[in-house]
């Protein structure tokens, strides 16, 4: 849902900014690299110290680079396999930094081994969810399912909850519990999404093999 509607909205909003960067001679790859560096710095500098509000502010400022770089590439007419590869690879780096930052907090000052484990599960499951689609497509399957919780949902749920939880340091009572709830939601949603994609790949694989067998039988019968 977020990929379909929110991405389209922010793409329109950020188009003038993307055009400005192009006029300044900034390349899409440079935006991708700077954006990822900003997200990683925000996550690994602020989150392990429990500074969720300011960490989320920094991350949010840089996370939109994921939309800006693609917008710039389209305006330049230079969409390439390398750009898509770089963008996808660095997305995984940024996601790992965010959930790794949560895990470091709960392993240290947050003092909660269960939530540390949940954070690590969110990190790992997010990578595997992305891998299942990429791997399925690489063997010629459409993987025609999005799943319950994709990258956009994982980021929005986690970052909104972290930012609001950070308001606890400003005296807002009880709000710090939003982040643990969000992490459990992302963990369960990622597991469901992983199952959905594995089941889809299994079904599509069986269908593809059945079609191949029918085509082989048809060629044999025609001889």
Annotated active-site residue in 91, 95, 111, 112 = 91
CA 187, 192, 196, 202 torsion-angle sign: positive
Active site residue 112: no
| Cβ burial 135-163 (10 Å sphere, 16+ → b, else e) | ebeeeebebebbbebbbebbbebbbebbb
Question: Counting beta carbons within 10 angstroms of the beta carbon of residue 58, is it exposed (0 to 12), middle (13 to 18) or buried (19 or more)?
Answer: middle
Q: How many angstroms separate the CA atoms of 103 and 72, rounded?
A: 34
Name the binding residues for Mg(2+). Answer: 66, 69, 87, 91
Q: How many angstroms separate the CA atoms of 147 and 153, rounded?
A: 10
Name the binding residues. Answer: 29-32, 66, 69-70, 74, 80, 87, 91
Coil, strand, or helix at residue 51? coil
- In eight-state DSSP terms, residue 2 is I
Name the binding residues for a CDP-1,2-diacyl-sn-glycerol. Answer: 29-32, 70, 74, 80
Closest CA to 44 of 55, 34, 57: 55
Could you count the other beta carbons within 10 Å of the beta carbon of residue 166?
24
Q: Which residues are catalytic?
A: 91
């Amino acid at each position: 849902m977020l990929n379909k509607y929110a991405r389209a909205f922010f793409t329109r909003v950020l188009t003038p900014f993307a055009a400005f960067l192009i006029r300044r001679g900034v390349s899409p790859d440079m935006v991708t690299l700077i954006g990822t560096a900003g997200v990683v710095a925000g996550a690994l500098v602020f989150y392990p110290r429990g500074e969720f509000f300011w960490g989320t502010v920094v991350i949010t400022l840089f996370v939109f680079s994921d939309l800006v770089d693609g917008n710039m590439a389209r305006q330049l007419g230079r969409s390439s396999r390398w750009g898509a590869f770089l963008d996808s690879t660095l997305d995984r780096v940024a996601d790992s930094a965010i959930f790794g930052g949560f895990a470091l907090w709960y392993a240290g000052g947050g003092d909660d081994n269960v939530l540390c484990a949940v954070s690590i599960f969110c990190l790992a499951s997010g990578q595997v969810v992305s891998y299942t689609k990429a791997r399925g497509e690489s063997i010629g399957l459409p993987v025609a399912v999005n799943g319950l919780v994709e990258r956009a949902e994982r980021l929005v749920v986690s970052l909104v909850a972290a930012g609001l939880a950070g308001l606890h340091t400003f005296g807002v009572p009880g709000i710090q519990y939003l982040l643990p709830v969000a992490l459990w939601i992302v963990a369960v949603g990622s597991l469901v999404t992983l199952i959905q994609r594995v089941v889809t790949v299994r079904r599509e694989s069986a269908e593809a093999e059945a079609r191949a067998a029918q085509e082989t039988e048809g060629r044999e019968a025609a001889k």
